[in-house]
């Protein structure tokens, strides 16, 4: 049989009787696949594997513990033979052929009337691959295609009308490689993308030409599209039958108002999925080599968006404070932390445009950082990190380095001098 002789199709076997002849591992795999398709499966074999016995004991299929009879093919829609005995498989295939029943002969793929492809399922897409009767080749191709679909490298968009949905996708700090696989896949399926100013903007260039991009980006102090309007856009587009992706920078649930958007969608009967993202509160400091926690330096951290919240966080160098969208109020924030007891020599790092080609790092102390930032023209998007963890950064000046902490001995306290 040549591959050109194959007419690819898909069988709908829900509720239809099928026959599996054989009791070994191959028969068990085929029986499981047929059950997944909703078929009524009968297995004929003198001895059955543990896997087949479990399926029979649970009532999912019928096992006839005997040798094959020609009458076994009567009234079935499909036959799979996998006894491992060529003569038996050939007889089953001949009996099925006589009754014009499609049969897969596992012993002889060349003469088999049908082949079982290598199958992968991604969302509601089922991939079936035949590779000239070479099952390992087919499986390798299947895995490659499934991986590409999972990663969003192949188009998964629906082309027929369906119920609209909303996905709140965290895009990470902006680097296209830091979006999750699930987020990338949903973006590839989108009919409409409601996009923030931050996040992996380059991915928008990869969308199909007919995908609509609605820009709702905000800058500090300037919100051209109010949040209530963003909520309404998401719901209206989904109710129109579109697959909507709300592409956000960072993580939707970390100071991203994703909770409000999800709640509004559900209140209006729209299915919503939340896809976590790599929050900039952690990832952007990491881009500058700053861990938000570090053994011997800091066991915890707080994330805040403005100086008015700083009175509620521990004002100690061993508790990291991460400020988002805090450049405009940096001087007030530094004063607030100092007023709460944070030492003025506490290291502070500012990371602008984390992970992007124009990334820049400015490091100073609580006493000096506001003047340094003004002199350097520091601007958003930027993440500010306050605490002893800044000492770990390779961008920190040499006199910031300290040997007074341990990454080997757990919980060894930092030595302080009066």
| Residue 83 C-alpha from the chain's centroid | 41
Give the SS3 label for residue 119: strand
Distance separating alpha carbons of residues 289 and 144, to the nearest angstrom: 34
Tell me if 14 sits within 8 A of 39, measured CB to CB: yes
Beta-strand runs (E) in 325-381: 347-352, 360-365
Q: Hey, what are 242's tokens?
A: 């579109």
Tell me if 36 sits within 8 A of 61, measured CB to CB: no
CB-CB neighbours of 352 under 10 Å = 22
Distance separating alpha carbons of residues 235 and 245, to the nearest angstrom: 11
- Just list the catalytic residues: 196, 218
Stated length of the chain: 418
In degrees rounded to 5, what are phi and psi of residue 259?
-60, -40
Radius of gyration of the chain (CA): 31
Tell me if 179 sits within 8 A of 277, measured CB to CB: yes
DSSP for 169-219 reads EE-BTS-GGGS-HHHHHHHHH-SEEEE-SSS-GGGGGGS-TT-EEEE---B
Tell me if 260 sits within 8 A of 279, measured CB to CB: no
Any residues with CB less than 8 A from the CB of 246 and at least 6 apart, and which?
166, 167, 168, 169, 194, 230, 234, 252, 258, 261
């Amino acid at each position: 049989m040549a591959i050109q002789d194959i007419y690819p199709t898909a069988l709908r076997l829900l509720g239809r009787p099928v026959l599996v002849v054989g009791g070994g591992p191959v028969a068990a795999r085929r029986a499981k696949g047929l059950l997944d398709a909703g078929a009524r499966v009968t297995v004929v074999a003198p001895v059955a594997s543990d896997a087949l016995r479990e399926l029979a004991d649970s009532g999912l299929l019928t096992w006839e513990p005997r040798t094959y009879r020609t009458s076994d093919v009567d009234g079935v829609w499909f036959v799979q033979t996998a006894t491992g005995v060529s003569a038996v498989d050939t007889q089953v295939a001949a009996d099925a052929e006589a009754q014009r029943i499609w049969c897969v002969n596992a012993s002889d793929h060349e003469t088999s009337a049908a082949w079982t492809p290598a199958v992968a399922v991604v969302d509601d897409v089922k991939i079936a691959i035949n590779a000239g009767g070479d099952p390992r080749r087919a499986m390798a191709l299947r895995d490659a295609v499934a991986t590409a679909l999972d990663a969003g490298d192949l188009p998964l968009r629906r082309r027929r009308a369906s119920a609209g949905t909303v996905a709140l996708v965290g895009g990470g700090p902006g680097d296209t490689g830091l979006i999750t696989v699930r987020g990338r896949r949903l973006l590839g399926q989108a009919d409409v993308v409601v996009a923030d100013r931050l996040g992996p903007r380059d991915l928008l260039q990869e969308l199909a030409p007919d995908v609509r991009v609605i820009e709702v980006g905000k800058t500090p102090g300037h919100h051209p599209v109010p949040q209530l309007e963003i909520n309404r856009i998401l719901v209206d587009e989904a109710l129109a039958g579109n697959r909507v992706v709300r592409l956000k920078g960072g993580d939707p649930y970390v100071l991203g108002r994703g909770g409000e958007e999800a709640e509004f969608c559900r209140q209006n009967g729209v299915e919503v999925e939340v896809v976590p993202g790599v929050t900039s509160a952690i990832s952007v400091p990491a881009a500058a080599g700053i861990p938000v926690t570090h053994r011997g330096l800091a066991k915890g951290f707080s994330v805040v968006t403005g100086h008015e919240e700083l009175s509620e966080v521990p004002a100690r160098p061993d508790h990291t404070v991460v400020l988002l969208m805090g450049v405009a109020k940096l001087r007030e924030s530094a004063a607030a932390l100092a007023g709460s007891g944070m030492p003025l020599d506490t290291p502070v790092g500012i990371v602008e445009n984390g992970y992007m080609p124009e990334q820049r790092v400015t490091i100073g102390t609580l006493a000096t950082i506001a003047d340094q930032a003004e002199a350097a023209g520091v601007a958003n998007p930027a993440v500010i990190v306050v605490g002893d963890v800044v000492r770990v950064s390779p961008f920190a000046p040499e006199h910031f380095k300290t040997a007074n902490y341990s990454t080997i001995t757990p919980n060894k306290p930092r030595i302080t001098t009066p």
